[in-house]
Structure 1
Amino acid sequence: MKFFSTQKLEIQIPEETTYKDGYFMPKNDNQLEQFLKDHFEFPSDNLNEIQKFVAQDDELEKIIYDLPQIVSNELTYNKISFDFMKETDSTEKILEIIIYSELESKILLQKEDLICNLLIDRYPKTLFEYIILVDPYER
């Protein structure tokens, strides 16, 4: 009498992965830092601190990589800046993402709601808090 045994297939996925433009790739802090430099501004000159903050949350990192495309699909913008909210407790960090556009204020509020809802729907599992604001661009 022969016994049949089934083989169990397992896929090993390394923990150190990140999301980039629709596919996963090895996590690389230098790559994230360069992407941040290329696409965003840092009014408080705290790129390294923001890069470390984002790198700790894979879902937030996905948002960062996808953000320029998501925003450009919804509105024309002049720049996007990152900072930590100053109005919070110093031990609590909330990433403040400000999108600057030349559209009129009423439209900016609608676009802000739309972008926030898109991000919440697509990336519901972020560990860290962030806030999206769409402000008028002033030259």
Structure 2
Amino acid sequence: MGSVFLGGPFKALVDADGVMRPAERARLEAIIAGLEAAGHKVYNAHRREKWGAEFLTPDECTRLDLDEITASDVFVAFPGSPASPGTHIEIGWASALGKPIVLLLEEGAEYAFLVRGLHTVAPVTYLTLTPGEDPTDRIVAAIDT
């Protein structure tokens, strides 16, 4: 199988104690576990930075994210609503690198025009998720096609 960079909002999901909110962490952990069970190597900044307990410096995380996106076969992300600035930069890198992209959109949420129109300039699969849905099987199906 291949490698996947899984991105999404981070700092906005970390509370004052430096801990990522449990529901969002559990969702990402389930996706990571499912991708790894399907044989994929997963790059993920949330896990790398201990779910907010060990944030890297801007210089460190910027370089690592770009290196890991470059090394990945597929880029998968929650763009965030409201938009996650860091994730949007990663989406730009992935599209500029020509990576296949899977964007995980929450049903009923608003997304930037450039996210909604990205498929016109990059290989994008959009998966619209219902509230509380575990998208792991749909992600695996999308990237293993």
Query: TM > 0.5 between the two?
Result: no
The structure with higher relative contact order (CA 8 Å, sep 6+) is: 2
Q: Which has the higher helix share?
A: 2
**Structure possessing the higher radius of gyration over alpha carbons:** 1
* Structure with the largest fraction of strand: 1
TM normalised by structure 2 equals 0.28
